[in-house]
Chains A and B, each alone.
Chain A
Amino acid sequence: MIRNSASEMASKLASGEITSVALTQAHLDQISAVDKDVHAFLHVDTEGALAQAAAVDAKRKSGEKLSPLAGVPLALKDVMTQKGIPTTCGSKILEGWRPPYDSTVVVNLKKNDIVILGKTNMDEFAMGSSTENSAYGPTHNPWDLTRIPGGSGGGSAASLAAFEAPLAIGTDTGGSIRQPAAVTGTVGVKPTYGGVSRYGLVAFSSSLDQAGPCARTVLDAALLHEAIAGHDPKDSTSINAPVPAVVAAAKSGNVKGLKIGVVKELNGDGYQKGVRTRFEESLELLAAAGAEIVEVSAPNFEYALAAYYLIAPSECSSNLARFDAMRYGLRVGDSEGASAELVMNLTREVGFGREVKRRIILGTYALSSGYYDAYYGSAQKVRTLITQDFNKAFEKADVLVSPTCPTTAFKIGEKANDPLAMYLNDIATIPVNMAGIGGMSLPSGVAEEDGLPVGFQIMSPVMKDDRMYSVGAALEAALLSKWGAPLLSTIPALAGSK
Chain B
Amino acid sequence: MTSLSRDDVAKLAGLARIEMSDEELVALSNEFTVILDAVARVQEVAGADVAATSHPLPLRNVFRPDVVIPSLSPADALSGAPAQEEQRFRVPQILGEE
Q: How far is the CA of A357 from the CA of B15 in the complex (A)?
A: 12
Within 38-86 of B, Cβ neighbours of A (below 8 Å) are at 38-47, 50-57, 59, 62, 64, 72, 76-77, 79-83
Question: B residues within 8 A CB of A326?
Answer: 82, 89, 91
Which segment of A340-348, A404-412, A452-460 sits at the interface?
A340-348
The reply to whether B81 and A328 contact each other, CB–CB distance below 8 Å, is yes
Q: Per-residue 0/1 for B22-47: is the Cβ within 8 Å of any A Cβ (1 yes, 0 no)?
A: 00100010011011001111111111
* B85 CB → nearest A CB, Å: 13
Question: A residues within 8 A CB of B42?
Answer: 303, 306-307, 310, 375, 378-379, 381-382
Q: How far is the CA of A158 from the CA of B13 in the complex (A)?
A: 35
The reply to whether B39 and A324 contact each other, CB–CB distance below 8 Å, is no
Within 352-410 of A, Cβ neighbours of B (below 8 Å) are at 352, 357-358, 360-362, 364-366, 368, 374-375, 377-385, 387
Tell me the number of A-to-B contacts counted with CB atoms below 8 Å.
171
* B12 CB → nearest A CB, Å: 5
Question: B residues within 8 A CB of A98?
Answer: 79-80
The reply to whether A317 and B16 contact each other, CB–CB distance below 8 Å, is yes
The reply to whether B92 and A381 contact each other, CB–CB distance below 8 Å, is no
Q: How far is the CA of A331 from the CA of B32 in the complex (A)?
A: 29
Which segment of A18-26, A232-240, A443-451 sits at the interface?
A232-240
The reply to whether A419 and B92 contact each other, CB–CB distance below 8 Å, is no
Q: How far is the CA of A466 from the CA of B76 in the complex (A)?
A: 40
Q: Give the interface residue-count category, chain A.
A: 35 or more
The reply to whether A303 and B80 contact each other, CB–CB distance below 8 Å, is no
What is the predominant secondary structure among interface residues of chain A facing chain B? helix
Closest chain B residue to A302, Cβ basis: B41
The reply to whether B89 and A419 contact each other, CB–CB distance below 8 Å, is no
Within 309-360 of A, Cβ neighbours of B (below 8 Å) are at 309-310, 317, 321, 324-331, 334, 337-346, 348-349, 352, 357-358, 360
The reply to whether A345 and B17 contact each other, CB–CB distance below 8 Å, is yes
- CB within 8 A of A309: which of B13, B35, B82? B35
The reply to whether A378 and B18 contact each other, CB–CB distance below 8 Å, is no
Question: A residues within 8 A CB of B13?
Answer: 357, 361
Q: How far is the CA of A375 from the CA of B14 in the complex (A)?
A: 20
The reply to whether A358 and B28 contact each other, CB–CB distance below 8 Å, is yes
The reply to whether A348 and B62 contact each other, CB–CB distance below 8 Å, is no
What is the predominant secondary structure among interface residues of chain B facing chain A? loop
Check A41 for interface membership: any CB of B closer than 8 A: no
Closest chain B residue to A373, Cβ basis: B46
Q: How far is the CA of A331 from the CA of B83 in the complex (A)?
A: 9
Check B87 for interface membership: any CB of A closer than 8 A: no
Closest chain B residue to A327, Cβ basis: B89
* B43 CB → nearest A CB, Å: 5
The reply to whether A100 and B80 contact each other, CB–CB distance below 8 Å, is yes
Question: B residues within 8 A CB of A329?
Answer: 80, 82
* Also in contact, A343 and B92, with CB within 8 A (given A325-B82, A328-B80): yes
The reply to whether B20 and A349 contact each other, CB–CB distance below 8 Å, is yes
The reply to whether B80 and A327 contact each other, CB–CB distance below 8 Å, is yes
* A302 CB → nearest B CB, Å: 8
Check B94 for interface membership: any CB of A closer than 8 A: yes
The reply to whether A385 and B50 contact each other, CB–CB distance below 8 Å, is yes
- CB within 8 A of A236: which of B53, B59, B76? B59
Closest chain A residue to B96, Cβ basis: A339
Q: How far is the CA of A272 from the CA of B62 in the complex (A)?
A: 45
* Also in contact, A340 and B92, with CB within 8 A (given A348-B19, A382-B46): yes
- CB within 8 A of A342: which of B31, B34, B41, B92? B92
* Also in contact, A378 and B46, with CB within 8 A (given A339-B97, A345-B17, A420-B35): yes
Check A193 for interface membership: any CB of B closer than 8 A: yes
21 A–B pairs (Cβ distance < 8 Å), ordered by A = A207-B55, A237-B62, A239-B57, A303-B41, A307-B39, A317-B16, A326-B91, A328-B81, A334-B83, A345-B18, A345-B19, A357-B20, A361-B12, A361-B13, A361-B28, A362-B35, A366-B39, A378-B46, A381-B50, A382-B45, A436-B56
Given A325-B82, A326-B91, A436-B57, 16 other A-B residues pairs in contact with their CB atoms under 8 A: A98-B80, A99-B80, A101-B76, A237-B59, A300-B45, A303-B41, A331-B82, A334-B82, A334-B83, A337-B93, A357-B18, A361-B13, A364-B16, A366-B39, A374-B40, A420-B35
